Amino acid sequence: MKQAFLLLSNKCSSPITTLYQQLKQATKALGDLFLLYHQTTAVLPEALNGINTSCFSDNLLTDLHYIPISHKLIPGNNHFPLLDFYRKNPVYDFYWFIEDDVRFNGPWQDLFNYFTLQPEPPDFISSHLRTFKEEPSWYWWDTLFHFNTRIPHNLRIRSFNPLYRISYAALSCIDFILSVDKWRGHHEVLLPTILSLEGYQIADFGGTGQFVPQGQQNKFYLDDDPDQSGSINTGTMRYRPFINRLEYAGKLYHPVKD
């Protein structure tokens, strides 16, 4: 199984290079690690020397011929760098996407190995997968949009994507849906909804809920039961508040403030 590990950042500060080195150690037997660097200056910082870097700029919002949901990568469009990488590097079976404020309180290889060794690996693994019925007030549901058709709300699924793994086949499907069929949407509703409906297997890293594989409840992160608003303010993988202390071993954390 050939895997790409993509650390997404627009920084090259010491915490990021430290995280990069940790990931480098953890992935050396598993695949290729890249810093997916959001370039905002004409010249690349010197700190990136010696780092396996794949750069992109805001031009991606138009270069890929997808329809973005806003004029910036964040919020909602930061699946574009991953899809751009996939288009340029269609040689991997799986692609890991890791935001720079995610941490794992333990050896990263424990997490990666667990999913690498699965006999029937899901096409998309992320956190906090929920149906529309479970979290109807979540803000981004309606960003999943097509100008002449629609997916009923009761078929929609959301996820929380600071860290996820996605298969080549799933990326190929999403690329087609965005570039040919002209769907658009926040990646946290677009990816789980479209992939599940197209027949790809989706799963949760841990946490709670119907998408957690049997025996994996709260395995790699802790989560609460669904709440109507879908705002995710508790658990170890959450939107806010920031996390200063990694309390539990073997769990993922987001957002971690260095």
Partner 1 sequence: MLPENDWLAFSFFSPQQEWPRFLDVLDGFLNSGAIKPLMAMRIIKFSQLYGSNIRLFVQATAGQSPLLLAELQAFFANNFPLQIIPGRHGQTPAGNREMLMIRVLLSDLMIKAFCTEPVNDETLLTVALYLQFALLKDKKAAKTILSSFAGTAIFIDDRFLCASQLEEEYIANCEFLHEIKSHLEGNQFAVLPSWLPPWLAGYEMILRSIPEHRLPAFCRSTLYSVIKQLGLSVSLVTRLEYYIKKSAQAETVKN
Q: Under the criterion CB under 8 A, does residue 142 sit at the interface with partner 1?
A: yes
Encoded one letter per residue, x for contact with partner 1 by CB under 8 A and - for no contact, window 198-237 reads xxxxx-------x---x-----------------------
Q: Under the criterion CB under 8 A, does residue 149 sit at the interface with partner 1?
A: yes
Among 22, 32, 68, 93, binds partner 1 (CB under 8 A): 93
Residue 83 phi/psi, 5-degree rounding, is -65, -35
CA pair distance 187, 18, nearest whole angstrom? 28
Q: What is the CA radius of gyration of the chain?
A: 17
Nearer to partner 1, 49 or 149 (CB): 149
Q: Under the criterion CB under 8 A, does residue 90 sit at the interface with partner 1?
A: yes
Burial 22-38 (b: 16+ CB within 10 A, else e): bbbebbeebbebbbbbb
Nearer to partner 1, 12 or 190 (CB): 190
Among 150, 225, 233, 234, binds partner 1 (CB under 8 A): 150
CB of 120 to partner 1, least distance (A): 11
Residue 236 phi/psi, 5-degree rounding, is -90, -20
Q: Under the criterion CB under 8 A, does residue 63 sit at the interface with partner 1?
A: no
- Nearest Cα to 39, choosing from 27, 52, 20, 57? 57
Query: Which one of 25-33, 64-72, 74-82, 190-198 is the stretch in contact with partner 1 (CB under 8 A)?
Result: 190-198
CA pair distance 167, 14, nearest whole angstrom? 31
Q: Under the criterion CB under 8 A, does residue 92 sit at the interface with partner 1?
A: yes
Sign of CA dihedral 222, 227, 232, 234: negative
Q: How many CB atoms lie within 10 A of CB 47?
A: 13
Residues that bind partner 1 (CB under 8 A): 2, 90-93, 123, 131-133, 136, 142, 148-155, 168-170, 172-173, 175-176, 180-182, 195-202, 210, 214
